[in-house]
Copies of this chain bind each other. A is one copy, B any other.
Amino acid sequence: MATNDVVSVSHSMLLKATDLKDDRIDVISICLFVFLLCACIVLGHLLEENRWMNESITALLLGLFTGSIVLISSKGQGSHILEFDEELFFIYLLPPIIFNAGFQVKKKEFFRNFITIMFFGVIGVFISFGIISTGSWYFFSKFGLKNLPIRDILAIGVIFSATDSVCTLQVLNQDETPLLYSLVFGEGVVNDATSVVLFRAVQTYNFDNFTSLEGLQIGGSFLYLFFSSCILGIASGLISAYIIKTMYFGRHSTDREIAIMTLMAYLSYVFAELFYLSGILSVFFCGIVMSHYTWHNVTENSRITSKHSFATMSFIAETFIFLYVGMDALDFEKWKMMQSSFTESAGLFGSLLFLVLLGRAAFVFPLSALSNYSTKSPDAKINLRQMVIIWWAGLMRGAVSIALAFNQFTQGGDAKDSNQATLMVITIIIVLFSTIVFGTATKPLISWLLPPHFRSNYSDSASLSPKASLDADFHIPLLMDTEREELEANDRSTINQILNGLPRPQSIGMLLTAPRSTIHHVWRKFDDSYMRPTFGGRGYVRLVSRRDMDIQEDEILEDHS
């Protein structure tokens, strides 16, 4: 019957699973991923108390499991829904994660350890890159990969220098081990940024005439790139703060405020990418600036909403990435193209893993020692256990490695030749191994290395993961922990200044003996005198609603003036 066409067409299309058009594939893959995301969240919640699993590993395993099912049901042919899309990763999945990292970071700790974090994140990548590239060049020809182009070898160096410290961060507690957490956290973000920039350089660089002078010029262009990206991010944050402070959206609409915050953050990322800068650094610093100024300019509902929305978007993106990596691991096309024997593959795997461990150790321990040497304060010294944890945190390889490998070794999803297929597969195996095996061992290892008496008696939320402690409802939702501490600290110092009438001495002597606190002091004065009056921030909130917290903040405003 012709009238059954509407229904029969749908039925016939459902049955012809192998005869799908592109738009159907899109709907099917979206369905599948959204369903798997829900399953991940439920499973992750159920396994919360488990001492081995965390959500990243759960997502990865679930992805692997689903990938195998798809593979089996399509009789070994795989399917295009499993293809890893680097654009999706870099343009849509990574920005929310990095932005939320900048938004939630404890700024005081981060800037206190800024130099160390930069050393780990930038110089560390270069050291690791050097070691892995050299080692690969040495080992690969022994295991069957002959005549690899220099660009591929260098790409491998970058790919395996890009760490994924999510697993470790999920175990560490920000309040108990603030120094350690901030180093691992900060290094993770800077490492991502450096790896991406270095990767682009490796891809575009002309290797014919390399001289030491050009080595310096490379260094110079990196500095320029980093500096511009940070400026761009900071500018985006300040513009958003200024817009919201001036336009006074709160009077009309929470939605507009949140929309502006989200859009301007994303704009900082894509704008940086447009000009070939580092979107990761840009959006990270945008997050820092927004949490310092913009967040305080919005209504209370907006504050709660934005804080939790950013965290939720980051959480969904992270879970999605691991699912994606897991499902893509079983895309058979690449596996079939490999021509290496099992022994050769095992040899490649083993040697690369060794290089990863070595490359990381080669900078973590020396740079930590260097940092300890230059620090007077005992709180900021990194002891050996912490060094081991920092080393361990950077052993896991994740989505950034996968994305970069896809970019280098495949074109439109298919490897160009058997060598590249081998490299792609080895990358996937190392990512899976490091995340699952090393990741699972992380919780027990850290419990062993950092028994409770080693941690500071900082908070009563020891049993909660860092993520949860940010969200638990018994925290005052209006202020984040850092803000509350800073608030109290700031009030004390400001009130002291006002009462005593004595400015703190500023001299070169002060700068040399206590550089960090002097810089902090100078920054505070600059911030209070010029930045906050222009861009808003804590203590400059307009009375929008009559809830108690706003009244309290207005009282603080009166104290300042």
Q: Which residue of chain B is the closest to A473 with respect to CB atoms?
A: B545
Query: Within the complex, what minimum Cβ distance (angstroms) separates A222 from chain B?
Result: 8
Taken together as a complex, chains A and B put the C-alpha atoms of A208 and B4 apart, in Å, by 13
* Cβ of A380 under 8 Å from chain B: no
**Which B residues are CB-close (under 8 A) to A3?**
213-218, 220-221
B1, B27, B266, B300: the one within 8 Å of A34 (CB): B266
Could you jot down 27 A-B contacts, CB within 8 Å? A2-B205, A3-B215, A3-B221, A5-B204, A6-B201, A6-B205, A7-B221, A7-B224, A23-B87, A27-B273, A31-B270, A38-B264, A41-B260, A41-B263, A250-B473, A252-B464, A253-B468, A253-B471, A254-B311, A255-B315, A258-B308, A300-B473, A301-B473, A305-B305, A309-B309, A309-B312, A474-B546
Contact A316 to B275, CB < 8 A, known contacts A7-B224, A302-B308: no
Q: Mark A266-297, 1 if CB is under 8 A from B, else 0.
A: 11001101111000000000000000000000
Given A38-B264, A91-B27, A214-B1, A316:B259 Cβ within 8 A: yes
Q: How far is the CA of A308 from the CA of B218 in the complex (A)?
A: 46
Closest to A279 in B: B27
Chief secondary structure at chain A's binding surface: helix
For window 23-37 of A, CB contacts with B under 8 Å fall at 23, 26-28, 30-31, 34-35, 37
A247 interface residue per 8 A CB criterion: yes
Q: Return chain B residues, CB-CB under 8 Å to A464.
A: 252
Tell me if A276 and B221 are in contact (CB < 8 A): no
Please encode chain A, from 428 to 462, with 1 for each CB lying within 8 Å of some chain B CB and 0 for all others: 00000000000000000000000000000000000
- A143 within 8 A of partner (CB): no
Complex CA–CA separation, A44 to B249 (angstroms): 11
* A259 and B41 form a contact (CB under 8 A): yes
Q: How far does the alpha carbon of A170 sit from the alpha carbon of B121 in the complex, in Å?
A: 50
Which of A10, A23, A255, A311 has the largest count of B CB atoms less than 10 A from its CB? A255
Please give me the residue from chain B that is nearest to A254 by CB atom: B471
Q: Which of A309-326 contact B (CB under 8 A)?
A: 309, 311-312, 315-316
Residues of A at the B interface (CB closer than 8 Å) are 1-7, 9-10, 13-14, 23, 26-28, 30-31, 34-35, 37-38, 41-42, 44-46, 48, 87, 91, 200-201, 204-210, 213-218, 220-221, 224-225, 243, 247, 249-250, 252-256, 258-260, 262-264, 266-267, 270-271, 273-276, 299-302, 304-305, 308-309, 311-312, 315-316, 464, 467-468, 471-474, 477, 544-547
A214 to B253, CA, bound (A): 51
Chain B contacts for A4, CB-based, 8 A: 217, 221
A3-B216, A301-B471 provided; 10 other pairs, C-beta below 8 A?
Answer: A1-B214, A7-B221, A7-B224, A34-B266, A42-B260, A46-B247, A254-B311, A256-B315, A301-B304, A305-B309
Q: Could you say how many copies of this chain the assembly holds?
A: 2
Residues from chain B with Cβ under 8 Å of A256 in the complex: 41, 44-45, 315
A547 to B468, CA, bound (A): 19
Contact call B201/A252, Cβ cutoff below 8 A: no
- The 8 nearest A-B residue pairs measured at CB: A3-B217, A10-B276, A473-B545, A3-B214, A305-B308, A255-B312, A2-B206, A254-B471
Contact A38 B301 (CB under 8 A): no
- Say yes or no: B35 contacts A267, CB within 8 Å: yes
CA distance A317 to B474 in the complex (A): 34
- Asked whether A247 lies within 8 Å of B87 as measured between CB atoms, the reply is no
In the complex, what's the smallest C-beta–C-beta distance from A42 to chain B, in angstroms? 7
